[in-house]
Amino acid sequence: SNGAFKLTGHVPNDNLTVEKNPEYWDAANVKLDKVIFYPIDEAASVRRFEAKEMDLVYNFSADQIPRLRNAYGDSVHISPSLST
């Protein structure tokens, strides 16, 4: 890989693991050592986040924003995205 992370693991129908790529041109500024992606639906991802099983959720519906902001305050960051 020529990116900040390299694929190091894949469990079909469960997860995908990437780790920091020491050969990346700006590796010193990559702050995460490892990221595990779970291909799960929106509701399951929010449940796992609330159970502290996940550190980041990026696919939740807009109607959940007020509740999540109320529960997690400044930890909830919203950014625009292009999607159809």
User: Domain segments of the chain: what residues?
Assistant: 1-39, 40-74
Residues paired with 19 in a beta bridge: 6, 34
- The per-residue pLDDT for 82 is 75
From first to last of its 84 residues, the chain has per-residue pLDDT tens of 679 999 999 999 999 999 999 999 999 999 999 999 998 888 898 999 899 998 888 878 889 889 999 999 988 888 887 766
pTM of the complete model: 0.71
CB 46 within 8 A of CB 64: yes
Residue 36 tokens, joined:
């595990």
- The per-residue pLDDT for 31 is 96
Residue 44 tokens, joined:
């399951």
Three-class SS of 25-81: CCHHHCCCCEEEECCCCHHHHHHHHHCCCCCCCCCCCHHHHHHHHHHHHHHCCCCCC
- The per-residue pLDDT for 70 is 95
